Amino acid sequence: MEKSTWIIDPAHSEIFFKVKHMMVSTVTGAFDQFTGAVETEQDNFEGANIQFKAETGSINTKNSQRDEHLKSDDFFNAEAYPELTFKSTSFEKNGEDYKLTGDLTIRDITRQVTLDVDFNGVVVDPYNQTKAGFELSGKINRKDFNLSWNAVTEAGSIVVSDQIRLALSVQLIKQ
């Protein structure tokens, strides 16, 4: 089978993260600017080569003060490290679902991560474009990427959890 290339459709994709705040509530954020490409020889995408980039300066938690803090050197240092990247090392079928493993780079630190993937199928839209849909989820420890700022409340609770939950909804367009 010949290799096909797919790109992320940013108008129909979302890159979210969730983190506990004060250990009593959850803050949701997103990266608004991102790109990605997939090369595969399989209709089911097994063994696909996946690359993804998000602009760290596009972080959006719907609170400008918090967003500016997240862009600072306390967290992403968006000026020095304008992108976070992901490059797959494997994409394998796991029962009905998939496991995506690859190298995630945030700031200047690269760590291997594994995400759970639901493959939602392939369709041809009304404009004759072939599209594929995926839901991805996983967890990372932010301190593994030197995103280590934190504070302690008067009661002794930490302000920001170390664990970050990732939730991505991705639609690809076949090229």
Write down the domain spans for the chain. 4-174
Average pLDDT rounded to a whole number, residues 64-71? 94
Average pLDDT rounded to a whole number, residues 102-112? 97
Indicate if the pLDDT at residue 154 is higher than 60: no
Tokens of 170: 């991705």
155: pLDDT confidence band, cut at 50, 70 and 90?
Answer: low
pLDDT of residue 117: 97
Distance (Å, rounded) from C-alpha 4 to C-alpha 60? 32
Which residue in this structure is represented by tokens 């998939």? 98
158: pLDDT confidence band, cut at 50, 70 and 90?
Answer: low
Report domain 4-174's class: mainly beta
pLDDT of residue 160: 77
More reliable by pLDDT, 74 or 106? 106
Distance (Å, rounded) from C-alpha 114 to C-alpha 45? 16
